Structure 1
């Protein structure tokens, strides 16, 4: 290492005074390499050890031939020394792997430096010896050519560590130049000067190679760090600092490739319930802080080795090893408990609930995609089942999904093939027995599966958005049929919240009325309380726009939802339909009777019709009539019937009235 310091001093001589003080730190900064880059440069010394062996074989052979020709024992000794050093270098190059973390950079550099300098000095001195003893010219040429060729070649090969390259060049060439000057003949003096001129030229070349190599490695290192940073950013959620969707996929693949066959893993898909209300009421900055707090809580309860990710929006995923189903249930309970703990943000107390879907490997899937699909299905069932609960995947969920997809595809085709029909169930005046309204109900008669119940395909239509097309079709068909009825008979059509919020919803209703030639005052649109859970401007605009042309609105299934009187006060409802559970359900009794009376009294006071649904017996009819309901609907009067039978019911009613008038 002393030779290295000596060469550094020769290459970078100190300058006196302030100039030295200014330039030395600058040079240190420019020449300072990171340990990683230095390691890579030292690695280049150990690259291709075969080149060391070939070079050593050439020079040792030259020394042996020279000793044989000259017959000098000193040359035999030199050949043996060169051979021993060469063998030691090759063994060191093969034995010390730069890829091993156990071999420090300093050790690798020192070992190589000792061998390189020893070999170069031995070779240079051997060549100088042949000049000094005045042996045969061919011996001198053989050894000098080998020494100079070695010095020139090795200075380029080892340019990755400049001091080693220059040291080898100097130690192999300088002894020859000194010997030439010692002999003093014109030819040798010229050779000595040529060698001395060769050294700075090769130093310049080696320096340029070193700079290019160093800068290339440094640039590659910088690019790698930047690429690593960009990769981390690309896999990290900017709001919570958790893994994002890309980061989750990467972690899942790596984890699943590394686990043993008998390892259990679980994927918890977490969806915050009604989180949109937090953003809408308190703003997105507060929403982001809630998401951050949820992320911290999920990290705190997740076991070691878990991947916690924000999948998007208000959805999170925890992917972790578990010991079994009970362990997964315990962790799900802890997640619920942590998320449900009240939040304190800017003095505001917030409560957040969550729905969880859980799938386990290998029971519910052996690859990432299948596992995520299973957890997603479980989450869907958790939300459909009432939210704020945990649902584990079951194979029946996949069968349900396949069934829903079949229904979705077939429903779209059914609309085009006219497989759907509209049936009409009468709503009767309890005082006179006359039909006041027909409620339009859709029926699907599948050519292969027979009749499909509305509760099978209506939810699918709502989930997939087909309900918009289906609802518009029902309205158009019902309006067309109603146009042929007496003017005092109206038609009622159920509307889905999704249909009402769709762009151009009011225009679709207007077009149906215009094409059917039906007076807007003869159309009643029935909506449920779920429509008003979210204060949606589109809903208010829809009701207001159609009310202005005479369309009437009825509040359906009253008493099963939030039953806020604010809806009745805010919107122009002309009719309230009391849910059948109060009339013919299992809980019918004094309480349900009191509720019907209260609703009926309120409706009569406000000038609204009150319809009792689900009437099946004369006793039920009499009970709701006594309670104050003025309209009734149910099997006691009639089931839903095709349009021609609805027309027959109206005709029979007119005929009976005619006979009464004549009688």
Structure 2
């Protein structure tokens, strides 16, 4: 296995030294054949022994090369050992060639044999330099091992010709070493540039973690290698990360991502592979066996992510969702595993985030259904197949309709009525919300334009949609196309998101209020209710959630809370709508404690099509509210 001290450069060098084994082996066999033929011609026992040694070492180097490629394929290389083995065998090989050349020049039967021996030595020298340019040290060892015996043998002969030959050989060796140094330097420069390119291509520059491509390649490598060791794939997504970009700055968001990357890396452990997949998503390949250990690791990561960041206000609660898939159990290749983990993550996000979901096979069918539903929704929006229902809002004192809440409806051709609680979040998640909002505004303002002038239409809009740069244009277009005055449109915003998006929403709301559009907080009391913001946010109306009415006759504290709050809102000079009026007792309570409030609920009217509203308009059949008996309801409204 690769030691902890092994560097990537050592591995690159060793691979370079062992490159093109077939060409190298063919050259060595050719040289060994020349040595055998010439040794047989000389018939010298010592030369024959050296030649036999050359053949043995050539074979050993061939076996070492085959072993190298096998170990490299299994990713079990120790580059330091391989480099030492290559240097030892290569040095021995070069030394034997040098001794052979020196002996050959001594026992040669004629000048031709001497010249052939010298050429064999020079050829081996050139091949050594060309092959070993990745390592100057290895080149020096083999050149010295080759040249020293040759030079020593020529000098030993002592004749002027041999001394001249020794000098020439020495010069050739020195020049060869100088060229080898230059080539090696160029190679190291090219290798450094290659490493930088690989780094840029495989590492995320912000977090310094492996990037998406590197993560997917590592996952593919593990599955293709058929690893027997179990591992789990954890797909981590930072919940509502866009808030940091929107509310603070990209610089703060980048700083947070770097901090979270370090946190995830440290929590996952050294044995885990962590990569930044995309944006605020991370992949973790963790060597854990079984669902329980994977869940434990996910919980540790979520806990670490949730720790407060010194540079971010505590109001920004950082949480994460995690999808988990297990190798072999949930998939045997990278695509299957990634798909399974992503499906599990999507379900965790759909359940509200800040939770972990382990992949189950039935989730595939659910995902396919969601994908089909998303496609059908896009088609329904494109062909205007959605409709509107309207639930009237009554004045408690007059019993007359003062506004109607527009509720979008989708009657699927195969699945029947689809709840807005299902398809509206789907539109948000899939990017269809613009089209849905535009259609809803157009249908609602078109209907309202035909109503009596004093009747408002209320449309629920998500704060994220309200903050989009195109919403004001979308709204103005709907009003102008249908001829509805802006003063007759009321935008309802869900409270829990309203509080969270405080500052930016205030600016968006102020701009639209300047046009005459009214604003209301919907479902007040269902989220983090901060009464303090009511005094400074630009809103006209508060809609109190139905849960405040539940149990008011059994729970005195509940009744007292509702009574007090109705009085508080009245002191702020805001209109208040009490939702969920379903019994005469509730109606009587509201008539006693808040006669000026507005009311909405099934006791008065269910959501009905636009065509049925005409029967409830004040000028036609609505009766004034009887002051003598506040428990009665106009017959036409029931």
Matched, 1:91 2:56: yes
Distance of aligned partners of 1:118 and 1:499 in 2 relative to their CA distance in 1, 3 Å threshold: closer
Q: Is the CA contact (8 Å cut-off) linking 2:234 and 2:323 kept in structure 1?
A: yes
Give the structure 1 partner of residue 112 of structure 2. Answer: 145
- Tell me the residue number matched to 1:60: 39
Per the TM alignment, residue 118 of structure 1 is displaced from its structure 2 partner at its CA by 3.5
Secondary structure of the residue aligned to 1:55 is helix
The CA deviation at 1:121 is: 3.4
Kindly provide the CA deviation profile for residues 354-407 of structure 1, in whole angstroms up to 9, marking residues without a partner as x.
Answer: 333322222233233332333333334334434433222233433333223222
Distance 2:376 2:332 in 1: 31
TM-score (norm 2): 0.79
Change (3 A) 1:54 1:176: farther
The answer on 1:391 being equivalent to 2:357 is: yes
Name the stretch that deviates more: 436-445 or 363-372.
Answer: 363-372
Out of 639-648 and 272-281, give the one that drifted further.
272-281
Equivalent of residue 216 in structure 1, options 169, 178, 183: 183
Instruction: Identify the residue that residue 132 of structure 2 maps to in structure 1.
Output: none
SS at match of 1:309: strand
Determine which structure has more spread, i.e. the larger CA radius of gyration. 1
Match of 1:111 among 92, 98, 106: 92
Match of 1:543 among 468, 492, 509: 509
CA contact (8 A) 1:615 1:632 kept: yes
Tell me the distance in 2 between the aligned counterparts of 1:496 and 1:289. Answer: 29
- Say which of 228, 231, 235 aligns to 2:202: 235
- After superposition, residues 132-531 of structure 1 pair within 5 angstroms as 143-159=110-126, 160=128, 161-164=142-145, 166-167=147-148, 170=151, 178=159, 208=175, 211-232=178-199, 234-261=201-228, 263-273=229-239, 294-303=260-269, 305-341=271-307, 352-531=318-497
Counterparts in 2 of 1:508 and 1:587: CA distance versus 1, 3 Å: farther
**More displaced, 103-112 or 347-356?**
347-356
Structure 1 residues 294, 473: CA separation in 2 closer, same or farther (over 3 Å shift)?
A: closer
Question: Which one of 578, 581, 602 corresponds to residue 544 of structure 2?
Answer: 578
| Separation in 1, partners of 2:429, 2:526 | 21
Worse overlay, 249-258 or 503-512: 249-258
Q: Is the 8 A contact 1:158 1:164 kept in 2?
A: no
Deviation at 1:507, TM superposition (A): 2.4
Match runs of 1:28-107 below 5 Å: 40=17, 48-63=27-42, 78-96=43-61, 99=65, 101=81, 104=85, 107=88
Distance 1:477 1:455 in 2: 19
Change over 3 Å in CA distance of 1:36–1:574 after alignment to 2: closer
* CA pair 634-242 structure 1, distance change in 2 beyond 3 A: same
**For residue 136 of structure 2, what is the aligned residue in structure 1?**
none
Structure 1 unpaired stretches of 5+: 1-33, 64-77, 128-139, 179-191
The more displaced of 162-171 and 478-487 is 162-171
Name the CA shift for 1:82/1:585 in 2 (closer, same or farther; >3 Å): farther
SS of aligned partner of 1:557:
strand
Whether 2:519 is the aligned partner of 1:557: answer no
Q: Determine the structure 1 residue equivalent to 2:573.
A: 607
Q: Is the 8 A contact 1:279 1:287 kept in 2?
A: yes
Structure-2 separation of matches of 1:35 and 1:523: 69
Contact 2:399 2:622 in 1 (8 A): no
The answer for unaligned runs of 5 or more in structure 2 is 1-10, 69-80, 129-141, 627-638
1:124/1:175 contact within 8 Å kept: no
Please report the RMSD computed on the Cα atoms of aligned residues, expressed in angstroms.
4.0
* Distance apart, 1:657 and its partner CA: 5.8
State the alpha-carbon separation in 2 of the partners of residues 41 and 645 from structure 1.
85
Report the 3-state secondary structure (helix = DSSP H, G, I; strand = E; otherwise coil) of the residue aligned with 2:354. Answer: coil
SS in 2 for 1:441: strand
Whole-Å Cα distance in 1 between the matches of residues 251 and 485 of structure 2? Answer: 49
* Cα distance between partner residues in 2 of 1:353 and 1:38: 45
Shift of 1:168: 6.2
TM-score by length of 1: 0.76
Q: What is the Cα deviation at residue 150 of structure 1?
A: 1.6
Residue aligned with 1:563, SS: coil
Equivalent-residue separation in structure 1 for 2:236 and 2:329 (angstroms): 20
Residue 479 and residue 588 in structure 1: after superposition, are their counterparts in 2 closer, same or farther (change >3 A)?
farther
What is the DSSP-based 3-state SS (H/G/I as helix, E as strand, rest coil) of the residue aligned with 1:414? helix
1:638 aligns with 2:571: no
Q: Which residue of 2 aligns with 1:122?
A: 103
Distance 1:466 1:37 in 2: 55
Whether the 8 Å contact between 1:581 and 1:588 is mirrored in structure 2 is: no
CA offset digits 1:296-327 (Å, max 9, x no partner): 54444435521133445544433212121222
* Contact 1:440-1:478 within 8 A present in 2 as well: yes
SS across alignment from 1:267: strand
Q: Report the Cα distance in structure 2 between the residues aligned to 1:283 and 1:415, rounded to whole angstroms.
A: 34
Counterpart CA distance in 2 for 1:482 and 1:243 is 55
Cα 1:569–1:384 shift into 2, 3 Å: farther
8 Å Cα contact 1:427/1:632 also seen in 2? yes
**Alpha-carbon shift at residue 558 of structure 1 (Å):** 0.8
The Cα shift of 1:465 comes to 2.6
